[in-house]
Amino acid sequence: MHIATVVPISQTVGANRIVPAVAIPYPLGDPKLSREEEYKQRRKIVETALRAVSTHIDTQTVFEVK
Amino acid sequence: MEKIRVVHYINQFFGGIGGEDKAGLEPLVRTGKVGPGIALQNILGDEYEIVATIVCGDNYFVENLEKVKLELLKLIKESNPQIFFAGPAFNAGRYGVACGTICEVVQKELGIPVVTGVFSGSPAAEMFNRNLYIATTADSARGMEEAVRRMVNLGVKLLQKLPIGDPEVENYIPRGIRQNIFSEDLGAKRAVDMLVKKLNQEPFKTEYPMPSFDRVPPAHPVESLSEAVVGLTGCGGIVPKGNPDRIEASSASKYGTYEITGVANLTGEMFESAHGGYDTTYANEDPDRVLPVDVLRDMEREGKIKKLHDIFYSTVGNGTSVENAKRYGQEIAQKFKDAAVNAVMVTST
C-alpha cells in the first residue's frame, strides 16, 4: 500500500492501494497536534493502510482515513 | 572504386532455412545477399556491396546469449564490414532482441555504424533504443521495403557522419536524447500556444513528454493480518543519523538498507532525513512521521500484526529518475519477498 499526500501522483505512477497522507513534510504526523493526538492520527493512517492491504480490489483504490 | 562492405544479419526464417522447426540453427555465413538482403542491396545502390549474410536461429540466439555474441562477432569480423545491418525484425520478439543484441556488440567491438529496424511496440524497441539507431517499421514483413529504406537512410547518414534529425522525421525509435536548440519564440509563448491548441482540441506537440508508467494488477489481499510480517520502505529519505551511505539529497543513485531490530520507534537522536526536496524539520524531530515504526511496533506487541520486518529500505525521491526508481523498487520488492514479508507499506513525502 502507498501512503502518499499527493494522491494523483500515486495514481499516475500506478499504485493500487492508496491511503491519503497528512502533508508532504509529515505524511504520518502533524506537529501542530499534541504527541498523543499525533500518535492517534498516525495509528489511524497505519490501520487504514493495513485495512487496504487486507481488502480485495480489482482496480486502483483510494482508502480514505476515517 | 571499391565498394563499401556491408554485412547483414537475419534469422533462420528470413534466411530461407525454415520456421520454428529450424529456430535452433547455429550461426552460419552465406556469401552475398539473402532474402531481405535483396531489397537492402537495391536500396543501398551500387556504392555498397553486401559481402556476407549471417544467419542464426532465433532460439539458438536467445538461449545461448553470451556464447552467440562471440560466435557471431567472429563471423562478422571475418568479412571486415564497414557498416552492419540487422533485420528488420518487425514485431518478432526473439528476432528483435537478437538484432538489437548483435548490433550493440558490433557497435562496441568493431566501432562501425550499425542499424536495425523493429516495430515501435516490440520489446527490442525499449531494450535497445538508448544505444542504437533503430528504424521504426510496420509490425509485419508486409512493410519490408519501407523498413529497409528507413534503415538505409540511417545507416548511410551514420557512415557519412551526416547529422540525423528528429526521430519522427528520420523514422527511428526515440533515443531519449535531448538537444538544445534555438527557438524563435520564448518558452512562455510556446506554452500558451500549446494550451490554446489544447483548448481548441487541435493537435499539439509537447516539448517534454512525461514518462509513461506501467500498470500492474493489484496483489491479492493479506488474509490474516495477525499472521502477516509487514515491511516498511519509502522515498522520504529516512536514514540513520549522519547518513552513512551518503544517499544524495536529490537524484539519489542508491537506496539504503537499515536494520531496526529492537528499535521501538525512530527517534530524532538516531535517525534523520537526507531528503533535499522538502523541509525536513518535522521528519528530523520525529522520523516516525515518515516511517511509522512506533505504531507498527505497538501493533506487533498487541498481536494485530505478526511482526514488523527488522529491515527497512529507504531512498530520496527528489528528481530521482524513473528508471532508477523502478530498479530500486524491483530490488527492494525482491528482498522483501526473499524474507517472506507479506505486506509492504510505502510512504512518500
- The bridge status of strand B229-234 relative to strand B307-314 is parallel
Q: Which of residues 108-137 of B touch A (CB under 8 A)?
A: none
User: What's the ipTM?
Assistant: 0.97
Phi, psi at B313, each rounded to 5°:
-115, 140
Look at residues B170, B187, B210 and tell me which one is the last residue of a structural domain.
B170
The whole-number average pLDDT for the span B9-22 is: 95
**Which cell goes with B344?**
509492504
User: Inter-chain contact B345–A59, Cβ cutoff 8 Å?
Assistant: no
A13 touches chain B (CB under 8 A): yes
Q: Which of the four pLDDT bands, split at 50, 70 and 90, describes residue B178?
A: confident
Are both B294 and B165 inside the same structural domain?
Answer: no
Give residue B239's pLDDT. 98
Per-residue pLDDT tens for B51-64? Answer: 999 999 999 999 99
Position B208 scores a pLDDT of 83
Owning domain of residue A53: 2-57
CB contact under 8 A, A28 and B290: yes
Residue B91, domain member (yes or no): yes
As a whole number of angstroms, the distance between CA B127 and CA B26 comes to 24
Q: Is A44 on the interface with B (CB under 8 A)?
A: no
Instruction: Give the number of domains in chain B.
Output: 2
- Is pLDDT at B123 greater than 90 in this prediction? no
| Res. B119: pLDDT tops 90 | yes
Closest alpha carbon to B156 in B48, B80, B81: B48
Q: State how far the Cα of B53 lies from the Cα of B225, in Å rounded to an integer.
A: 61
Question: CATH number for the domain including B45?
Answer: 3.40.50.280
First to last CA, chain B: 66
A7 interfacial to chain B (CB closer than 8 Å)? no
Strand ranges (E), A1-66: 2-4, 17-20, 61-62
Q: Do B348 and A3 touch (CB under 8 A)?
A: yes
DSSP label at residue B279: -
Distance from CA of B286 to the nearest CA of A (A): 9
Instruction: Convert the pLDDT of each residue in A17-52 to its tens digit.
Output: 999 999 999 999 999 999 999 999 999 999 999 999
Q: What is the pLDDT of residues B209-244, one digit of tens each?
A: 777 788 899 999 999 999 999 999 999 999 999 999
- Residue B310 touches chain A, beta carbons under 8 Å: no
Q: What pLDDT, on the 0 to 100 scale, is given for residue B106?
A: 98
Confirm or reject contact between A18 and chain B (CB < 8 A).
no
Residues B160 and B257 in one domain: no
Domain assignment of residue B319, given as a range: 225-347
For the segment B179-195, the average pLDDT, to the nearest whole number, is 93
State whether B225 and A54 contact (CB < 8 Å).
Answer: yes
